[in-house]
């Protein structure tokens, strides 16, 4: 087996712990799609044509409630604007790949596959097979996501909500955060991002609090990098 194939499979396996948290969400989404009155064919289109988590849920609920097309589209896009930053961050990994491959990467990237790939990049930035790893992780998560939406559509939320399996999502993300905490400038960026999210997410609409918190965290990191540089150059003198 080629090394690239091995990395693809390793990515797919790395996606497995993240899948536990994704399934309950996708089941809820499938149920919401049925409640919004989607036909089976529409449900299949809805689950395969896009990958958007919360944005998909908001869009399908608004559609079911009879909101105008403009409101549905704008809501979905605003909720997902953070993905533009993922594409910025993934660029060094996918640089040199064809346009079609990069486009496909944009189609199938999720919070989860972004997080696991960046953790991998942090540990081994020179691994030439990271695109294969990313693809493996993205596709394993996306395929379970599609399948679980359809199960939710047909059978409802078959996993009891009392199990709170959605709590595994922050648990996975916190362990993937740790490799990125090297250097106090990055710790500042994490602390500011986290605190800003706690304050802003409940009070701003459409998850725009999350986007604002991410930008605040990145900004704080960049400001501290300025001081860090100064500190380093003074150290050299």
Partner 1 sequence: MYFYLVFGIIAVLFIFVKGMFLCFIPQSKLPQVFERSFRYIPPAVLAALVAPSILYTRSAGGFDISPVKIAAGTIAFGVALKTRSILATIAAGMILLWLLTYLAG
By CB under 8 A, the residues from 193 to 212 that bind partner 1 are 193-198, 201-202, 210
Question: Contact with partner 1 (CB under 8 A): which of 178, 184, 227, 230?
Answer: 178
Question: Contact with partner 1 (CB under 8 A): which of 65, 155, 170, 230?
Answer: 170
Could you say which residues in the range 52-111 bind partner 1, by CB under 8 A?
A: 52, 55, 59, 63, 69, 72-73, 76-77, 80-92, 94-95, 99, 102-103, 105-107, 109, 111
Residue (5 or 45) nearer to partner 1, CB? 45
Q: Is 30 in the site for partner 1 (CB under 8 A)?
A: no
Q: Is 26 in the site for partner 1 (CB under 8 A)?
A: no
Could you say which residues in the range 1-20 bind partner 1, by CB under 8 A?
A: 17, 20
Residue (3 or 231) nearer to partner 1, CB? 231
CB of 175 to partner 1, least distance (A): 4
The dihedral through the CA atoms of 21, 22, 25, 28 has a sign that is: negative
Question: Contact with partner 1 (CB under 8 A): which of 124, 155, 171, 231?
Answer: 171
Could you say which residues in the range 105-164 bind partner 1, by CB under 8 A?
A: 105-107, 109, 111, 114-115, 118-119, 122, 163-164
């Amino acid at each position: 087996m080629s090394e690239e194939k091995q990395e693809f499979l390793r990515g797919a396996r790395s996606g497995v712990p993240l899948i536990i948290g994704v399934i309950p969400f996708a089941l809820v989404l499938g149920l919401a799609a049925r409640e919004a009155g989607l036909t089976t064919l529409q449900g299949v289109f809805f689950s395969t044509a896009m990958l958007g988590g919360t944005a998909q849920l908001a869009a399908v609920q608004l559609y079911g409630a009879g909101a105008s097309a403009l409101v549905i589209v704008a809501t979905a896009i605003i909720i997902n604007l953070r993905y533009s930053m993922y594409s910025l961050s993934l660029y060094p990994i996918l640089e040199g790949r064809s346009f079609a491959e990069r486009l496909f990467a944009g189609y199938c990237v999720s919070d989860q596959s972004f997080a696991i790939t960046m953790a991998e990049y942090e540990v081994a930035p020179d691994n030439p097979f990271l695109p294969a790893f990313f693809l493996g992780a993205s596709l394993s998560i996306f395929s379970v996501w599609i399948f679980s939406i359809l199960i939710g559509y047909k059978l409802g939320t078959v996993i009891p909500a009392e199990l709170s399996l959605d709590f595994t999502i922050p648990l996975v993300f916190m362990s993937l955060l740790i490799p990125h905490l090297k250097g106090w400038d990055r710790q500042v960026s994490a602390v500011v991002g986290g605190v800003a999210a706690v304050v802003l997410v409940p009070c701003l609409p459409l998850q725009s609090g999350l986007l604002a918190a991410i930008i605040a965290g990145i900004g704080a990191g960049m400001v501290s990098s300025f001081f860090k540089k100064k500190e380093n150059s003074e150290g050299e003198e």
